[in-house]
Amino acid sequence: MAHDFPPLTNDLILRTARGEDVERAPIWIMRQAGRYLPEYHEAKGGRDFFECCRNPEIASTLTLQPIERFAGLLDASIIFSDILVVPQALGMVVEMVEKQGPHFPEPLKSPDDGQYSKVINKNVDVAAELDYVYKAITLTRKKLNGRVPLIGFCGAPWTLFCYMVEGGGTKLFIQSKKWIYRYPDATKALLQKISEVCVEYLALQVQAGAQLIQVFDSWAGELSPLTFKKFSEPYLAYIAENLPKRLAEKGLERVPMIVFPKGANYALDSVCNLGYDVVGLDWLIDPAEAVKIRGNRRVVLQGNADPGVLYGTKEAISETVKEMVEGFGGGKKGWIANLGHGITPFVNPDDLKFYLEEVQRLTSK
């Protein structure tokens, strides 16, 4: 189904992601649509978090809030949704508990717990199960009116797997480690299942209007270099290889693909070979070091200021941006500015505005 969207007036991030020379570094912020914005709470009202995700009108309103507040300062929007809609599509119950985060009342306990075989064998109708996401994307593209491109996303298989076995966020990752060291084959089978759903989900997001996609491997850093190569990297590679094929089958053009394996800077060299156009970096790696590791490969880097700098002074923000711009080579090629992870809930929006302005100022020189 072809959509008639308004023409794009700012394609800076798309040109950068394709490796072109640009006039300045594009910038967007992970979790830019979210709790730090007062208008987010007004629009959300008394609705449950997932209720907002499932309501295309609300999801599109939330997606557009930072674009409207920071007009001319953000070069991309990212659809308001959550990585955990994929486990929901796989048949698992996920709730968002106020002040606690996501909660799975019945996480996967072992390959023999009954639920595992149901998830593995479920014939997931990705189009029907996640239809509300595609509707939100199409509506948002129309409302954006060509101002900036729209990013679609999913969680990486390893990160989704962690949530599915832990039952929510965790600091110890006991269940995840139990699975990979006790049930490696069953773990790999589930990771493959998740990967296949992710490919179809991302393809349908592009069909609905997403112009770039990002794969969030938020828990990549919980793996060792050895286990990352076994339980994360092959499935990130599967998505990078198979999404363009799926888009071609649908008669759709390939879109730039971003991967963000948070905490896995030890694997940056091999991640640059996975087939993604852009590799996201957290704040635990020096930009100049990342550039050195990338070498002359046609991979664009994204990131990577410490999100905590937004609680600092303007001087601290300026200094951080200056060092980041210099480390990434000035911002005229090969770098998309962002934070090293999502913006946190108590940031003053004016401090984010200053950060965005500084990135523009220092990369426009």
What confidence tens digit (pLDDT) does each residue in 262-304 have?
999 999 999 999 999 999 999 999 999 999 999 999 999 999 9
Question: What mean pLDDT do residues 125-143 have?
Answer: 98
The pLDDT-based confidence of 1 (bands split at 50, 70, 90) is low
Mind giving me the DSSP string for 72-131? TT-S-EE-S--TTHHHHHTT---EEETTTEEE-SS----TTSSHHHHHHH----HHHHTH
Which among 29, 20, 38 has a CA at the least distance from the CA of 359? 29
Instruction: Please name the residue that has the structure tokens 């189904």.
Output: 1
CA angle, residues 347, 351, 352, in degrees to nearest 5: 80
Spatial separation of the C-alpha atoms in residues 41 and 60, rounded to whole Å:
14
- Mean pLDDT over residues 312-329, rounded? 98
Write out the two tokens for 357.
């302005």
Task: Give per-residue pLDDT as tens, 202-243.
Answer: 999 999 999 999 999 999 999 999 999 999 999 999 999 999
- Taking each helix axis from N to C end, the angle separating 131-144 and 184-208, rounded to the nearest 10 degrees, works out to 40
Taking the C-alpha atoms of residue 19 and residue 326, their distance in angstroms, rounded to an integer, is 18
